[in-house]
Structure 1
Amino acid sequence: MTQLFFSDYDIESASTDARPPLVIVGAGGLGREVLLLIQQINEVQPTWQVRGFYDDRAPATPTVAGLPYLGTAADLNATTEPLAVAVAVGSSAGRAGVVARLTSAQLSFPPLVHPGVALHPRQRVMLGAGCLIQQSCVLTCDITLGRFVLLNLGCTVGHDAELADFCSLMPHANVSGAARLAPGVYLGTNATVIQGVQVGENTIVGAGAVAVRDLPANVTAVGVPARAI
């Protein structure tokens, strides 16, 4: 797994014409939120030229939030120019499936982080390719996020936590220090994983649930304390 410091993706101020092109895969509500995230990044430092949206399910209108619908994943794979891609799919399994279909060597997947989120080298936060970190998230120190991790609005991640590839945190989910989330874990809105707890691969922790002890793989856990159902 390739992991990069957030600062590795800092781009010097550039004119609009010089900004690298970026497209969003996922033309639904999260796609529009990711567009807003990119616009917020550009307001602070012009960074990306957003071309439009791709989705295997065509939207009802030819434009989404004022940008064109450009086609399917197969159309995106046919690109002849380098393109940055943001995969805006909320489901962990769905996001992994989309990434598996994006096979063109022309495609790259930079992490996108809201400019209000503090990420400095001294925090020692490692981000994998394709991570999306939305407004009001708080990450402390010595944290590792794998590839295509999604932190939605207002999430917190504590010291020494590890979130593996394709983990998804919905708004205001909380991961305490030294917790371990295996690949594909999904935390619902306001879910919490207590310090040191490990959550198994592809497990769903329901909205408002609190994981106070380790959870196995491939279950759905709800309640306080969270129990597999």
Structure 2
Amino acid sequence: MIIYGASGHAKVIIDIIKSLPNHSIDLVIDDNPAINKLLDYEVEHELLDISPDREVVLAIGKNMIRYNLAGKLNIKFCSPLIHSSAIVSDSSMLGKGSVVMAQAVINSSAVIGEHCIINSGAMVEHDVYINDFVHISPGAIITGNVKIGTGTHVGAGATIIPGMEVGKWVTIGAGAVVIENIPDFAVVVGNPAKVVKFNKIEDE
């Protein structure tokens, strides 16, 4: 396994990989020349001559950076990485490059897109549909039948009530409680969550 990115988020992905049988870390790569070591791993700075059978995980927390990198890197992205302590229903589906961290729960018939982050202790309930490049932060609760668009970030401890539709590239603040549908690019905060501004997405 090759880890692309040497941030704090990468450290948590290392913990996921270490928790899994038959998984190992071959290489850590980051384009920042000032970063030479991450935990016990030396950090390389170029992605060269990678064998096509070696899988890569994008260990980058920012959704837009993952989105841009996935579009331009001609490499094989990994199957979903799921921490051994996470609970994931057999009837759920997860896309390539997605990561599920310790103590997260993904329940029946949930669909998680590609390159998503389901962070520590987050809960994704039944029949939820999460599009690509979404980050569900620690302790967030996505209740049943919610739909979340591409690139959206759900803040730590936020709650989305059943049946809501959240647009693409939305930012939901920490602790927010979403009780209405949220339009594309909105930034929402509070309980109940209210739109306070809109994200400017230039490269979407």
Superposition TM-score, scaled by structure 2 size: 0.91
Distance 2:87 2:122 in 1: 13
* Separation (CA, whole Å) in 1 of partners of 2:89 and 2:183: 34
Matched, 1:64 2:64: no
- Which of 59, 79, 101 aligns to 1:110? It is 79
Question: 1:29, 1:137 → 2: CA distance?
Answer: 18
Q: 2:89 touches 2:106 (CA, 8 Å); kept in 1?
A: no
Mapping of residues 62-101 of structure 1, within 5 Å? 62-72=36-46, 75-76=47-48, 78-101=49-72
- The SS at the match of 1:196 is coil
- The answer to whether the 8 A contact 1:182-1:200 is kept is yes
Matched, 1:28 2:7: yes
The amino acid that maps onto 1:96 is Y
Corresponding residue to 2:101 among 117, 134, 142 = 134
> Whole-Å Cα distance in 1 between the matches of residues 125 and 77 of structure 2?
28
For the residue of structure 2 that corresponds to 1:108, the secondary structure is coil
Distance 1:99 1:149 in 2: 12
CA distance in 1, matches of 2:63, 2:69: 10
Q: State the Cα deviation string for residues 32-55 of structure 1 (Å, max 9, x = none).
A: 1111111111xxx2x222122112
Instruction: Tell me which of 12, 22, 26 is aligned to 1:51.
Output: 26
Kept in 2: contact 1:153–1:170 (CA 8 A): yes
**1:118 Cα offset (Å):** 2.6
Tell me which residue corresponds to 1:154: 121
**Mapped contact 1:159–1:178 kept (Cα < 8 A):** yes
Alignment of 1:7-26 (within 5 A): 22-26=1-5
Residue aligned with 2:18, SS: helix
The C-alpha deviation readout for 1:59-80, integer Å capped at 9, x for no partner, is: 43x22111111223xx24x424
Q: 1:176 aligns with which of 143, 147, 154?
A: 143
Structure with greater helix share of residues: 1
Contact in 2 for aligned 1:209/1:226 (Cα 8 Å):
yes
Asked whether the equivalents of residues 59 and 69 of structure 1 are also in contact (C-alpha less than 8 Å), the reply is: no
> C-alpha distance in 2, partners of 1:23/1:209?
35
Output one character per residue of 1:187-219: Cα deviation in whole Å (capped at 9) or x when no partner: 011111111011100000011111110000011
**Any unmatched runs of 5+ in structure 2?**
197-204
8 Å contact from structure 1 (residues 25, 55) kept in 2: yes
Q: Secondary structure at the match of 2:87?
A: coil
Task: Work out the percentage of aligned pairs sharing the same amino acid.
Answer: 26
- The structural deviation recorded for 1:120 is 4.6
2:55 is paired with a residue of what secondary structure?
Answer: strand
Structure 1 runs of 4+ aligned residues shifted over 4 Å read: none
2:202 aligns with none
Question: Normalising to structure 1: TM-score of the pair?
Answer: 0.81
Q: Letter of the aligned partner of 2:106 in structure 1?
A: L
Structure 1 stretches of 5 or more lacking a match?
1-21
The structure with higher relative contact order (CA 8 Å, sep 6+) is: 1
